[in-house]
A and B are shown apart, each in its own frame.
Chain A
Amino acid sequence: MDFDAIVIGGGHAGIEACLSVSRLGFKTLLITQSLDAIGRLSCNPAVGGLSKGNIVREVDALGGEMARLIDASMIQFRILNRRKGPAVQAPRAQADKFLYSSLAKRTLEHEPGLSIFQDTVTDLLVSASGREIQGVVTERGNTITSSVVVLTTGTFMEGKIFIGEYQASSGRLGEPAAVGLGTNLRKRGFRVGRMKTGTPARVARSSIDFSKMEIQEGDEEMLPFSFSEKKINRPSVPCYITFTNSGTHGVINTNMFRSPLYGGDIVGKGPRYCPSLEDKVVRFPDRDRHQIFVEPEGLESEEMYLNGISTSLPEDVQIDFLRTIPGLENVVIMRPGYAVEYDYMDPTQLYPWLETKNISGLFVAGQTNGTSGYEEAACQGLVAGINAGLKLQKKEPLVLSRTDSYTGVLIDDLVTLGTEEPYRMFTSRAEYRLNLRHDSADIRLLPIGYRAGLQSRENMDRLNEKIKGIEEIRELLDKRRVKEKDLENLPEDYKIHVGKSFSRILKNPDASLEDLIPLEPELSRYPSRWVTHAGLDVKYEGYIKRQNQQVSRFKRMEKMKIPPDFNYDSVEGISSESREKLKAIRPLSLGQASRISGVRNSDIAVLMVLIGRKGGGRGD
């Protein structure tokens, strides 16, 4: 074998995959089409956001790189939804995308045991039985062997971009597609489909009149995504907000016939949740305006990103409709918006550890699995990389649960339900999101990362210190009561709380921890994020308790395991539709089986009886 592991693709999934296998001690090769494109933020220059910010922290806790990369390249930081509940608050940072990408490349280059090579993979090397991976074959005719392969092709597998009538075989504007691999995967029996996504125009900063836009500053404090209590000291630059108007929509409606989306040229399904401006105008005819965030692409860059109006209309139409927008009257386009259509693999062909069921040793992650977003890609890349490493170590795979992480939710959704459109994470996809707060990712997952071999002893010790500190703070909150004389330093409405403990008062929706902290000097001994963490735990204690009941109900079903080779054909009494679905998905537990769409409750009951009796198998 030339290498233990080969990772195909140097995007956000590929970075995490190659770093994690390599860090687990395996000789790893990253093959990418362009060394200059490693870690590119192809779409918006930002990392994090609702649920995505949680994922970045999860990647960090498990031992991934994304959090450190954004920490070192952020140019604005905000905690979103401070006014809303704790489960739906999340960090988001604007990135200097050029800096992000070069940091990513440097990180890979400095990783011992990791080689990087520029080439394009066109086919897999597979054993004679067709069931085991052996390496890859490239466009330039190189044959490179390895025991495991992680496939992270992003939008490049048979990628095709569209700008009005213009079409080109590319994965990103100006970058050629990877041709051949998709066709070969189809030949090997994989279900491969088409998806579509899009990006807006990048425009020249100097051509924008910011005085006509609303300014959006970041938070004063820049907090790290990574496991650290240190503040970040980096420049913070603003974003701007403007809106489309009926004039904009008029231009789009008039030229709709020139859109490749409506001309039938694009067959792949686009993301419903991140529609192009054409889609928005068609689907929401009643809305007279749509919001645009104008975001810097980097500190040194002239390019500005127009978040919210991705488009694949012809370039002349793009400039026409942009110039109807306040502040963009004289705008100059530097890169046009475009749509990209690419091959993805039906993710139900994977086990929850992201290995294909058909070819042992072949792992797939990121957009190739039908997801959208850097964070979604990164967490899959990491899980695929860890599992590739565990396979090389001949250890049991790591399967994350819906109850411990958004990453677990994402992967379970993909491998159980598949996806028809680019899958984007939302907090609502996580049933147990109260337990998946961004500030608890380290507590939830760092020990798992440590056991997998990607986290240091030092970080574990720091985590235990943090857990202990939070417990102490909670005790303080339980003990400390509001006294008569505290009222001088409290808002009027705290009068009714005299004599009650802080914990009790916090459970009141109107009470806030910020009001109470100054009263108790002991609390200032702890890092403020610990205090906030403990405060939220206390405030939502009742909800968290009930959530935990839901979790234990859920876990009872997950604990009933089904062997991957369970013979569904021998089971009498289940509907044939369910049988086919169960055979295709091969769920690993009754819980997972019950989430497959179209599998009936009564079929689960049958399985429950059989599994419970024999631990699987029919035993006639």
Chain B
Amino acid sequence: MKDLFYDTREPIAALATPWGESALAVVRTTGDGSVEKFAELFSSPGKILTAEGFTMHYGYLLDPSSGIEVDQITAAVYKAPRSYTGQDSVEIFCHGSLPGIKSILKALQKGGFREAAPGEFTLRAFLNGKMDLSQAEAVAEIIDAKSVRAHNLALNRLSGGVFKRINSIKNELTQFMSAVEVQLDYPDDEIGGDTVLPSDAVKKALESIQELINSFEIGVLYREGITVALAGGTNAGKSSLFNLFLREDRSIVSEIDGTTRDYIESWITLQGLPVRLFDTAGLRDAQHPVEKEGIKRSNEIIANSALVLYLIDGQSGMSDADKKVVEENRNNRRYLFVWNKIDTKAAETPSWAVGVSALSSEGFTVLENEIVERIMGSRHSASDVMIDSLRQKNLLERSLEALNRVKEGVDTGVSLDGVAMDLKDALDALGEITGEVTSDEILNNIFSNFCVGK
């Protein structure tokens, strides 16, 4: 909690684009006096000082101690309250080289801008009435969203899908609670005999909450993606398959060569699911001693992947190495065996493998479905809304736990005042999600999820 209570007016600065080499980068500043402070660092301060909001200015950023030009930039000036944070702000568009960005940030700090804490820009936007809490929370998710589906999930919260679902669970539980409370609020001789409690409500609520919790895990998949590794012998066609995945999908985020060229990785999207695909190229030159380190790394990737696509050359049949891997992992759902080159006169695809031609793309759709099926697997949820914040998941789990105790209490005949207490616990946890119950954890939970610069 404490770390949140910084001054919410003083000028701050942070890199708003990802920390990495790119053509352009954006450095964000905001706070009282941020325009004036920035002007002092700009090659033509007068232009900035007299600038209207929503104007762009071209010039140089200067180091305040040496007066040396740090970078050629464009500055966008925003005047309070018409900015993201509601305060005066300047956004600096600069070159995307890491040393360049570093010197810009350094210059800004010398010029009186404090380094922003994670979520501080959004916190200010929130404090200045630019967004409410549920929007703020969702903003975090939208920023993090790695695919269109994830984006929709984040937006869904804005439209209140989760809210509605949890409210309907709460309503049912509240009715159950009322039935319990009537028993507790009046003495026996005034309300007569025991009434039957509608315990079905608890069972139903338990199911609905469990589904929402499951939906979180699916949500995590969509937001954070999943790692899939291509493995197999040197001539099994891994690279062709890798390229096929890349061709099939236009939403490639990046393609980075492994630093020692022992693997290649790329983000792809499979049926909306973000997948980080590795081609563990290390295995192809396994005999070269210089690449021993590469083999080690490839093995690590395979070990840490959620799914391993193990390619076998169907044309030449299984090598001894293949046989060993198949033997060991045939019943391992983490291994998906791919029988490649079915366009040639390959041996018939075995029942434990998926046949595919990396060249003609024959069987590729089946493979794709199988991959998604393997990844989703038991993470099934009938829920049409998804929760996607860890806070919500934790609260749902607290509610689930309490409800299990309610069920147990009702079943074993614990006195109703005890049952009611657990019921309150369950309802409170749900209430914290919908915002009716306030706990001191809300702020920390929400703003600490943000990156710096957001």
Interface residues of A (CB under 8 A from B): 49-50, 80-81, 83-88, 92, 216, 241, 291, 426-428, 431, 433-434, 509-510, 540, 543, 546-547, 550, 553, 556-557, 560, 572-574, 590, 594, 600-602, 604-606, 608-609, 612-613, 620
**25 pairs across A/B with beta carbons < 8 Å?**
A50-B187, A84-B416, A85-B415, A87-B417, A92-B187, A427-B184, A428-B181, A509-B412, A540-B418, A543-B421, A546-B425, A550-B421, A550-B424, A557-B439, A572-B127, A572-B128, A573-B126, A600-B435, A602-B132, A605-B126, A609-B127, A612-B1, A612-B5, A613-B6, A613-B8
B306 at the interface (CB under 8 A from A): no
Which B residues are CB-close (under 8 A) to A241? Answer: 189
Give the CA-CA distance A604 to B438 in the complex, in Å: 8
B89 at the interface (CB under 8 A from A): no
Write the nearest CB–CB distance from A42 to chain B, whole angstroms. Answer: 21
Write the nearest CB–CB distance from B162 to chain A, whole angstroms. Answer: 14
B436 at the interface (CB under 8 A from A): yes
B190 at the interface (CB under 8 A from A): yes
Point out which of A216, A431, A572 has the most chain B C-beta atoms below 10 A from its C-beta: A572
Which B residues are CB-close (under 8 A) to A86? Answer: 415, 417
Which B residues are CB-close (under 8 A) to A572? Answer: 86, 127-129
Give the CA-CA distance A573 to B187 in the complex, in Å: 47
What 1/0 flags go to B206-217 for Cβ under 8 Å of A? 000000000000
A556-B190 in contact (CB<8A): no
Q: Which residue on B lies nearest to A573, using beta carbons?
A: B129
Write the nearest CB–CB distance from A484 to chain B, whole angstroms. Answer: 26
A84-B184 in contact (CB<8A): yes
B414-A80 in contact (CB<8A): no
A601-B133 in contact (CB<8A): yes
Point out which of B4, B129, B413 has the most chain A C-beta atoms below 10 A from its C-beta: B129
A49-B424 in contact (CB<8A): no
Q: Which residue on A lies nearest to B434, using beta carbons?
A: A601
A609-B415 in contact (CB<8A): no
Give the CA-CA distance A590 to B422 in the complex, in Å: 24
Write the nearest CB–CB distance from A55 to chain B, whole angstroms. Answer: 15
Given pairs A602-B133, A604-B438, 7 additional interface contacts (CB within 8 A): A81-B187, A426-B185, A509-B414, A557-B440, A602-B134, A612-B5, A613-B5
B256 at the interface (CB under 8 A from A): no
Contacts A572-B128, A602-B132, A605-B133 given; indicate if A427 touches B440 (C-beta within 8 A).
no
Write the nearest CB–CB distance from B394 to chain A, whole angstroms. Answer: 14
Q: Which residue on B lies nearest to A553, using beta carbons?
A: B439
B9 at the interface (CB under 8 A from A): yes
Which B residues are CB-close (under 8 A) to A92? Answer: 187
Give the CA-CA distance A50 to B184 in the complex, in Å: 9
Which A residues are CB-close (under 8 A) to B133? Answer: 601-602, 605
Give the CA-CA distance A523 to B262 in the complex, in Å: 77
Which A residues are CB-close (under 8 A) to B4? Answer: 609, 612
Give the CA-CA distance A434 to B9 in the complex, in Å: 45
Write the nearest CB–CB distance from B137 to chain A, whole angstroms. Answer: 10
Which A residues are CB-close (under 8 A) to B415? Answer: 84-86, 509
Which A residues are CB-close (under 8 A) to B425? Answer: 546, 550
Which A residues are CB-close (under 8 A) to B127? Answer: 572-573, 606, 609
Q: Which residue on B lies nearest to A554, using beta carbons?
A: B439
Which B residues are CB-close (under 8 A) to A594? Answer: 437-438
B325 at the interface (CB under 8 A from A): no
Which A residues are CB-close (under 8 A) to B435? Answer: 600-602
A80-B413 in contact (CB<8A): no
Closest 7 CB pairs of A and B: A85-B415, A85-B417, A601-B435, A87-B417, A602-B133, A594-B438, A573-B129
Q: In the complex, which of the residues A49, A50, A85 contacts B418, with contact meaning CB atoms closer than 8 Å?
A: A85
Give the CA-CA distance A49 to B8 in the complex, in Å: 52
Q: Which residue on A lies nearest to B413, using beta carbons?
A: A509
Q: Which residue on B lies nearest to A510, using beta carbons?
A: B413
Give the CA-CA distance A80 to B8 in the complex, in Å: 56
Give the CA-CA distance A49 to B127 in the complex, in Å: 48
Give the CA-CA distance A428 to B439 in the complex, in Å: 21
Which A residues are CB-close (under 8 A) to B132? Answer: 600, 602
Which A residues are CB-close (under 8 A) to B189? Answer: 80, 216, 241
A556-B414 in contact (CB<8A): no
Write the nearest CB–CB distance from B346 to chain A, whole angstroms. Answer: 61
A601-B128 in contact (CB<8A): no
Give the CA-CA distance A106 to B1 in the complex, in Å: 56
Give the CA-CA distance A543 to B414 in the complex, in Å: 10
Which A residues are CB-close (under 8 A) to B98? Answer: none
Which A residues are CB-close (under 8 A) to B440? Answer: 556-557, 560, 590, 608
Q: Which residue on B lies nearest to A600, using beta carbons?
A: B435
Q: In B409-454, which residues have CB < 8 Å from any A CB?
A: 412-418, 420-422, 424-425, 428, 435-440, 442-443, 446
B438-A434 in contact (CB<8A): no
What 1/0 flags go to B78-111 for Cβ under 8 Å of A? 0000000010000000000000000000000000
Which B residues are CB-close (under 8 A) to A434? Answer: 417-418, 421
Q: In B377-419, which residues have CB < 8 Å from any A CB?
A: 412-418
Which A residues are CB-close (under 8 A) to B436? Answer: 601
B188 at the interface (CB under 8 A from A): yes
Give the CA-CA distance A29 to B132 in the complex, in Å: 53
Point out which of A433, A543, A550, A572 has the most chain B C-beta atoms below 10 A from its C-beta: A543
A427-B185 in contact (CB<8A): yes
Which B residues are CB-close (under 8 A) to A553? Answer: 439
Give the CA-CA distance A540 to B409 in the complex, in Å: 12
